[in-house]
Amino acid sequence: MPRTSVSTVVAYAGAFVTAISATAEAQHPASWAAQPAAVTVVGADYAYTDLPSTLRPGPTLFAFENHGTKRHEMSILLLKSGIAMETLVGAADHPAVSSRAVSDSIVGLLLARPGEHSGGQLYVNLVAGRDYVVICTLRDTPDARPHADLGMIGVIRVRETAP
């Protein structure tokens, strides 16, 4: 009766692990070992509470919690270089934030119902020295003002280096 030796099984398992590692490195070159920074943004009616004013550059995983009684979102946009956030906060025309004149890209969006977390997270490779706008463009009724106008807008400044 043929028997599989222990050494054969170990060699086979080793080859399997090597194959997994090679696949992982192909999908996540170089930075596979580095865990992204985890940032949880909390929304309320109608503000982001404890929004970090600065973050380090590099891979960052955003989560969103809604502590409010309305549905909220956190849209992240990469502000154009040279655009001052101060000109946007308090501005009457918040939708302009997503225009090409103001932002280089719409990075992504997380949504959550009242009292819930977003079901997923948002991975962003934060660019050194740049500003990101966090904004909620939802409104409670079609005629109501967008939540950004009520205070749900902020900026995260990314440091030049990762100390």
Nearest to 133 by CA among 158, 113, 162, 163: 158
Total residues at the site for Cu ion (CB under 5 A)?
A: 5
Q: How far is the CB of 97 from Cu ion (least distance, A)?
A: 14
Distance of alpha carbon 31 from alpha carbon 73, whole angstroms:
29
How would you class 84 by CB atoms within 10 Å of its CB: exposed for 0-12, middle for 13-18, buried for 19 or more?
Answer: exposed
CA atoms lying within 13 Å on the CB side of residue 122 = 24
Question: Can residue 136 be called a binding residue for Cu ion (CB under 5 A)?
Answer: yes
- Minimum CB distance to Cu ion smaller for 49 or for 81: 49
Question: Can residue 124 be called a binding residue for Cu ion (CB under 5 A)?
Answer: no
Considering only residues 138, 153, 155, 158, which one is a binding residue for Cu ion as defined by CB under 5 A?
Answer: 138
Distance of alpha carbon 78 from alpha carbon 130, whole angstroms:
8
Q: Residue 149 has which token pair?
A: 């106008």
Q: Which stretch binds Cu ion (CB under 5 A): 89-97, 108-116, 119-127, 135-143?
A: 135-143
Q: Which stretch binds Cu ion (CB under 5 A): 2-10, 18-26, 54-62, 147-155?
A: 147-155
- Tell me, rounded to whole angstroms, the distance of Cα 113 from its chain centroid: 18
Q: Which stretch binds Cu ion (CB under 5 A): 87-95, 96-104, 120-128, 146-154?
A: 146-154
- Tell me, rounded to whole angstroms, the distance of Cα 145 from its chain centroid: 25
Question: Can residue 147 be called a binding residue for Cu ion (CB under 5 A)?
Answer: yes
Q: How far is the CB of 83 from Cu ion (least distance, A)?
A: 23
Nearest to 79 by CA among 89, 69, 71: 89
Question: Can residue 72 be called a binding residue for Cu ion (CB under 5 A)?
Answer: yes
Question: Can residue 94 be called a binding residue for Cu ion (CB under 5 A)?
Answer: no
Catalog residues that contact Cu ion under the rule CB under 5 A.
Answer: 72, 136, 138, 147, 152
